[in-house]
Amino acid sequence: MKGELITPLPGEVLRIDLGTHHIAFSDLGSGAPIIFAHGGLMDHQSWGNQLPLADRYRLIMPDTRGHGRSGGAGLPATYAAFGDDIVGVMDALGLEQATLIGFSDGGCAALHVALNHPKRLRNLVLIGTPYSLESYNDGVVERFSAMVPEDMDAARPLVREVVAKMRVHMSDDEWSAYWQRIIRGLWPSEPNFVLADFAGLPVRTLILHGEHERSVSTRASEELAATIPDCRLVYVPGATHSAAQDEPDFVNESILRFLETGK
């Protein structure tokens, strides 16, 4: 893709069979493992600007079920199911523990893993992640129900790029079904976590919130950061909802600092 804003990921795309469906993923670098859970309307290729982290860590980047080259489009599309798949990938790769980085939908899946399998996580990083429908700014949930695929034609270049990289692996019918399943189905109905449930979360956590985030409210990120016992909240200058794609240098440096110093 000419003039790409997201760095292409090298190497082959691998596959794990989870029984009911397969998960496609990239496995890059070496060192302590980091699993990346991407957002909606994209696939694992959206993490290309995080490739510099492979100099110090093993980066495991799966396509969420029903996204990109993963299977499971006909299976339940819930954040619990997405989170269970992450644990399934860890089991298949023989990983007892890993750092989990989740963006938006992937962050909601990461919250499910953190609450239900906290011992499997060494660290948790959340980017642009709501914990409930009330986490969104006014009018956002209502806009989900009104969105149509043609809206992507008018999206900013970075969004068009990540959507196109996922869309190329789908037929027109699969794209229409995805829209109904995720945009019209999942987004207006989840997440529904209870804030108090995170009060005892025993996982060191970093929350990254874009300076110009328009979807997830600042209030929600501050509430979550104040509730999780060992949590840091960092605002990403110049970033929108897609902070890791918008400002990769700042985000990558923040992740490295957090992993290596806890700050």
The pLDDT tens digits of the residues spanning 91-142 come to 999 999 999 999 999 999 999 999 999 999 999 999 999 999 999 999 999 9
Answer for the pair 1, 52: CB distance below 8 angstroms, yes or no. no
pLDDT at 173 over 80: yes
Mean pLDDT of 164-180: 94
Q: How far is CA 69 from the centre of its chain?
A: 16
Report how many domains make up the chain: 1
pLDDT of residue 4: 87
- What is the percentage of the chain residues whose pLDDT exceeds 90? 97
Place of tokens 């960092």: 234
**Strand 22-28 with 14-17, pairing:** antiparallel
pLDDT of residue 3: 63
Q: How far is CA 28 from the centre of its chain?
A: 18
Per-residue model confidence as pLDDT tens digits over 33-50: 999 999 999 999 999 999
Token output for 239: 């970033």
Domain assignment present for residue 9? The answer is no
pLDDT of residue 263: 84
> For the residues of 77-88, what is the DSSP string, one character each?
--HHHHHHHHHH
Domain assignment present for residue 231? The answer is yes
Q: How far is CA 194 from the centre of its chain?
A: 20
pLDDT of residue 111: 98
Domain assignment present for residue 1? The answer is no
Owning domain of residue 212: 14-261
Over the chain, what is the mean pLDDT?
96
pLDDT band at 23 (very low <50, low <70, confident <90, very high): very high
Domain assignment present for residue 149? The answer is yes
CATH classification at residue 69: 3.40.50.1820
Answer for the pair 50, 252: CB distance below 8 angstroms, yes or no. yes
CA distance 60 to 180: 28
pLDDT at 10 over 70: yes
Contacts of 3 (CB under 8 A, 6+ apart): none
Report the interhelical angle of 105-116 vs 79-93 (nearest 10°): 70
Domain assignment present for residue 7? The answer is no
Answer for the pair 147, 183: CB distance below 8 angstroms, yes or no. yes
Mean pLDDT of 239-254: 97
Domain assignment present for residue 177? The answer is yes
CA distance 78 to 75: 9
pTM of the predicted model over 0.95: yes
Domain assignment present for residue 3? The answer is no
Domain assignment present for residue 52? The answer is yes
CB atoms < 10 A from the CB of 52, how many? 15
pLDDT of residue 95: 98
Q: How many residues in total does the chain contain? A: 263
pLDDT at 2 over 80: no
pLDDT of residue 1: 45
